[in-house]
């Protein structure tokens, strides 16, 4: 068969039930406070670790659960359904470590992945800079070889979970004359001398997930911490995003599902003109459209996850880049529409912090921006189609 099955297996359904139970019991009650106080939900992290849901993608040989890409999607979806900030724990652990899984030496993987699997360390991903966001190859951070070391200098911006992650995949220029082919990837540790963090960004949403600069001043690290060969860092960074844009799609699906579920419950209860507002066809059509957009995006995301899984195990998958960008774009655009409609369906109450849908609408917005804006995703898809 040339096209992989992507329907969830029984194990995936059981996983979903288990994550949903934990999410509803433990993570949901803390979601509003994480948003309101702009604080990382430390207890939710501990609960995810205790249940082994914090980094399910780490292979068994490094002490992880060895779950497939669809399982990782399901975990992120279910956590995001109640708390988008908490869903960045499994999502960013995957983003930070896929560069190692794709390109690092056996020694480097063995040195860093077990601590992530055990929940002792989180792993962030540092590509963006102030002048190099969409145009990531324009980065300025330098890594200069010096004997058996590299010395890193520069500022990485917008780094999710910066300060709380122990480890960072950092892309830096090793050969300024070679453009994208002069970029290399490294593992940097929070405890490396010369590493510091900017203040927390003051954001619209995902306020429980700290976003900070990672400042690198004369940071000397062993050359063995380079991921792959010199000059391959940009390719590793983009190949990583082919797998992890699917996790942002999962986050968007979860946020949208949370908003849809809440709105459905509300319209059955809220009465106007002597009936439940869910009895009005104008409301029913909105609910139907929301569910339809969500399911279409979900099927695209699961198909992309199946392709990611094949590619991770060495099968060349020509259209992974297209599917990954398409899933992220479809799911994030759907999430923005669905959460906005959920606020609409709650009327004035939806606009207040007494109900969760305004938080979900604010959280949904970021999924159209990070891991490449949706304009960049459309550019990536068009390049695939036209090449």
**Non-local CB neighbours of 146 within 8 Å, separated by 6+ positions:** 220
Question: Choosing among ligand CAA, ligand FAD, none, which partner's interface includes residue 115 (Cβ < 5 to 8 Å by kind)?
Answer: none
Residue 375 binds: one of ligand FAD, ligand CAA, none (C-beta under 5 to 8 A by kind): ligand FAD
The alpha-helical segments, DSSP class H, found in 56-139 are 69-82, 84-103, 106-117
Choice from 64, 99, 119, 133 touching ligand FAD (CB under 6 A)? 133
Name the residue with tokens 């849809």.
260
Torsion of CA 215, 217, 221, 223, to 10 degrees: 100
Q: Which is nearer to ligand FAD, 124 or 251 (CB)?
A: 124
Q: Give me the count of residues in the chain.
A: 387
Q: Which is nearer to ligand CAA, 76 or 221 (CB)?
A: 76
Category of 52 on φ-ψ map: left (φ > 0), alpha (ψ -120 to 50) or beta: left
Of 143, 240, 241, which is closest to residue 183 (Cα–Cα)? 143
Is 371 known to be catalytic?
Answer: yes
Which tokens go with 272?
């106007």
Q: How far is the CB of 126 from ligand FAD (least distance, A)?
A: 5
Task: Pick the stretch among 6-14, 26-34, 109-117, 128-136 that binds ligand FAD (CB under 6 A).
Answer: 128-136
Positions of E strands within 237-371:
271-272, 275-276
Size of the site for ligand FAD (CB under 6 A): 22
Given 299, 344, 373, 384, the residue binding ligand FAD (CB under 6 A):
373
Choose between 170 and 219: whose C-beta lies nearer to ligand CAA.
170
Q: Minimum CB separation from ligand CAA for residue 207, in Å?
A: 14
Closest-by-Cβ residue to ligand FAD is: 133
Q: Which does 126 bind (CB under 5 to 8 A by kind): ligand CAA, ligand FAD, none?
A: ligand FAD
Among residues 205, 333, 357, the alpha carbon closest in space to that of 267 is found at 357
Run of H or E including 20: helix 10-22
3-state secondary structure of 210: coil
**Site of interaction with ligand CAA (CB under 6 A):** 92, 95, 125, 127-128, 134, 136-137, 160, 180-181, 234-235, 238-239, 241-242, 321, 370-372, 376, 380
Minimum distance of ligand FAD from residue 242's CB (angstroms): 15
Nearby residues of 305 by Cβ (< 8 Å), 6 or more positions away: 6, 68, 69, 70, 72, 73, 246
* By the rule CB under 6 A, 306 interacts with ligand FAD: no
Residue 203 interacts with which of ligand FAD, ligand CAA, none, CB < 5 to 8 Å by class: ligand FAD
Nearest approach, Cβ of 237 to ligand FAD (angstroms)?
8
Residue in 77, 129, 309, 371 annotated catalytic? 371
Query: Which of ligand FAD, ligand CAA, none does 200 bind, CB closer than 5 to 8 A by kind?
Result: none
19-25's contacts with Cβ under 8 Å and 24+ in sequence apart are: 19/51, 19/53, 19/74, 19/75, 19/78, 19/79, 20/78, 20/81, 22/47, 22/48, 22/51, 22/53, 23/78, 23/79, 23/81, 23/82, 23/83, 24/82
Name the residue among 194, 193, 191 with its Cα closest to residue 217: 194
Instruction: Please name the residue that has the structure tokens 């709380």.
Output: 164
**Of these partners, ligand CAA, ligand FAD, none, which one is at the site of residue 380 (CB under 5 to 8 Å by kind)?**
ligand CAA
Residue 326 makes contact with ligand FAD by CB under 6 A = no
Cβ atoms of 97 and 123 closer than 8 Å: yes
| Of positions 89, 323, 370, 377, contacts ligand FAD by CB under 6 A | 370
**Which of 89, 98, 102, 159 is in the footprint of ligand FAD by CB under 6 A?**
159
Verify binding: residue 127, ligand FAD, rule CB under 6 A: yes
| Residue 155: contacted member of ligand CAA, ligand FAD, none (CB under 5 to 8 Å, by partner type) | none
- 376 counts as binding ligand FAD under rule CB under 6 A: yes
CB atoms within 10 A of CB 235: 16
Known catalytic residues are 371
User: Which residues of this protein are in contact with ligand FAD, per CB under 6 A?
Assistant: 124-128, 133-134, 158-160, 203, 206, 211, 366, 369-373, 375-376, 379
């Amino acid at each position: 068969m040339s096209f992989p099955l992507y329907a969830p297996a029984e194990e995936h359904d059981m996983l979903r039930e288990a994550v949903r139970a934990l999410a509803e019991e433990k993570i949901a009650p803390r979601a509003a406070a994480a948003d309101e106080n702009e604080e990382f939900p430390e207890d939710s992290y501990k609960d995810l670790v205790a249940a082994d849901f914090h980094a399910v993608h780490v292979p068994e040989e490094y002490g992880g659960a060895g779950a497939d890409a669809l399982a990782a999607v399901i975990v992120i979806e279910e956590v995001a359904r109640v708390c988008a900030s908490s869903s960045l724990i499994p999502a960013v652990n995957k983003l930070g470590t896929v560069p190692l899984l794709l390109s690092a030496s056996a020694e480097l993987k063995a040195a860093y992945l077990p601590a992530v699997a055990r929940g002792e360390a989180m792993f962030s991903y540092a590509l963006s800079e102030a002048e190099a966001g969409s145009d990531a190859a324009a980065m300025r951070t330098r890594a200069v070889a010096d004997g058996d070391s590299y010395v890193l200098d520069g500022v990485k911006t917008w780094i999710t979970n910066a300060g709380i992650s122990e480890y960072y995949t950092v892309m830096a220029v090793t050969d300024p004359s070679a453009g994208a082919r002069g970029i290399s990837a490294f593992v940097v540790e929070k405890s490396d001398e010369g590493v510091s963090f900017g203040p927390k960004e003051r954001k619209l949403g995902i306020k429980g997930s700290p976003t900070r600069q990672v400042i690198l001043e004369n940071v000397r690290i062993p050359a063995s911490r380079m991921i792959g060969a010199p000059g391959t860092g940009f390719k590793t960074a983009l190949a990583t995003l082919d797998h992890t844009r699917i996790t942002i799609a999962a986050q968007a699906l979860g946020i949208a599902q949370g908003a849809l579920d809440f709105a459905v419950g509300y319209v059955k209860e809220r009465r106007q003109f002597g009936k439940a507002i869910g009895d009005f066809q104008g409301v029913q059509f909105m609910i139907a459209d929301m569910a339809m957009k969500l399911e279409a995006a979900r099927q695209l995301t699961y198909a992309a996850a199946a392709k990611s899984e094949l590619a991770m195990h060495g099968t060349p998958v020509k259209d992974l880049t297209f599917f990954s960008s398409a899933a992220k774009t479809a799911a994030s655009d759907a999430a923005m529409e669905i959460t906005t409609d959920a606020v609409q369906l709650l009327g004035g109450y939806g606009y207040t912090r007494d109900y969760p849908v305004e938080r979900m609408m604010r959280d949904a917005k970021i999924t159209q921006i990070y891991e490449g804006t949706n304009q960049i995703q459309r550019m990536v898809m068009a390049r695939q189609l036209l090449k």
